[in-house]
Structure 1
């Protein structure tokens, strides 16, 4: 049984809210003792989580004292900050180390980049590599959870879906290259349930310094959209962007996340690992 009982989450957004919900469920079941949500906004903006038992703490990410004060007594710090806030993770890590946090879960949900040559990794992902190396240098144990893309987020009418060129209302989608290369997908709810299960049932020495590669389904974008057509009875209009075009776009704008995701998918880099490296078996369901 895990010795981790108190958890803090930095970044309540696309995946963070799901993790918060799962941890609060475990708290209400008596399996963990505390769920702390770090926020830069007013505490009242997270009333929904507070009403379920979360402690909401407003912090200043530029103030070591503010972060250390908030994290004192916390076992596990989970970062779910987005791309635009990756730089904040180093300050979180320093504070976690000073606060004697036992485990740091950095915001690496998504594509697996560990083990790849840095020059082959899109620069927008470089901060992930940097923070992982920093954690190792600091001696602050980490656990990485690679989960691929979130299919529920792609399927909904979200800003992310629109950024990927998915417009179900107009029955139009964009495919990178052939669109037939397999991609790892895991729903946000499944990621949260898996993370909660691992962090509260496994012994801590089996968690620290470990990379967990999980996958709900391995399917190409084209097959995913064809499944949508079958279920909804709608034909979709496909627009293809060639690998060459995507690469040229990324070279011009290294922060074009849409082109990066489509290019990574077409190059076969949008899977969390080979099937034999998956840790799905740790989840009992």
Structure 2
């Protein structure tokens, strides 16, 4: 039986806005929960709590700053009858990585499993969001240059945030198939050099490439991967046969110009 009412935790964030929009377009009733509102109501003050009664699924879309806030939300969701919880696993697969940066993800995921929701959980790792493209490659047509963050050799997975929303919608229409499952999502696999080639193809201009180091504060995952090697997730893990037609990511890159 398909779910009907979905709460999105972190609905005002970069991913949350797109997930909220797409789920509403797909016909679900969406309850937006911003991280600030939920934290204040549920943890820091005695203000009336935000009820999760009647919510089928809670989708957490918070970034690193909100990962620990999931712990209280998981408790509330279980107590108030939520059927399934989608933790914020978006981005790099932390399961075989020993790094302090990912410990809040591990803690939240363990809490979701321990909560034993009636319909379990679904966890999705994915490539870099579409919004990361300008961070990985900065182009300047005024002086015909492109700055690639890192060496530009590794083909990283990329995903459109709207397609994440479409995948979630598909899983909510078939809860049994996606209970307690990991998904690995990517529209395409591109290196920094691949992106420069797409820009040159779309514009007919030849660009001089410069390489810069990733900023650990602004792009911690890119910094981590460029220093340690590896990838966001193993390409062999990418989920096949999802009932969603993913958008053409190369066309998206060209549309940014």
Q: Deviations over 1:29-86 (max 9, x none)?
A: xxx4x211113679xxxxxxxxxxxxxx997242698786421110100011121111
2:108 match:
131
2:148 match:
174
Cα RMSD (Å) of the superposition?
2.9
Return the offset for 1:241.
4.6
Q: 1:209 and 1:154, CA in 2 relative to 1: closer, same or farther beyond 3 A?
A: same
> Normalising by structure 1, what TM-score?
0.73
Aligned residues of 2:35 and 2:62 also touching (Cα < 8 A): no
Aligned residue pairs total 240
Q: Residues 247-262 of structure 1: matches in 2 within 5 Å?
A: 256-262=217-223
2:176 match:
205
Return the offset for 1:129.
1.1
Return the offset for 1:124.
2.1
Question: Helix, strand or coil: the match of 1:166?
Answer: strand
Q: For the residues of structure 1 that align with 2:164 and 2:72, how far apart are their CA atoms?
A: 25
What is the aligned counterpart of 1:240 among 189, 211, 215?
211
Q: Residues 107-186 of structure 1: matches in 2 within 5 Å?
A: 107-114=88-95, 116-117=96-97, 119=98, 121=99, 123-140=100-117, 141-150=120-129, 152-155=130-133, 161=135, 164=136, 166=138, 168=140, 171-176=145-150, 178-186=151-159
Please state if 1:80 is matched with 2:75: no
Q: For the residues of structure 2 that align with 1:17 and 1:65, how far apart are their CA atoms?
A: 28
Question: Helix, strand or coil: the match of 2:3?
Answer: coil
What is the aligned counterpart of 2:193 among 208, 222, 228?
222
Question: Helix, strand or coil: the match of 2:70?
Answer: helix
2:255 match:
none
1:16 match:
16
2:6 match:
7
Unaligned runs of 5+ in 1: 43-56, 250-254
Q: For the residues of structure 2 that align with 1:190 and 1:39, how far apart are their CA atoms?
A: 21
> Normalising by structure 2, what TM-score?
0.80
2:161 match:
188
1:106 match:
87
What is the aligned counterpart of 1:97 among 78, 86, 90?
78
Deviates more, 1:264-273 or 1:138-147: 264-273
2:235 match:
274
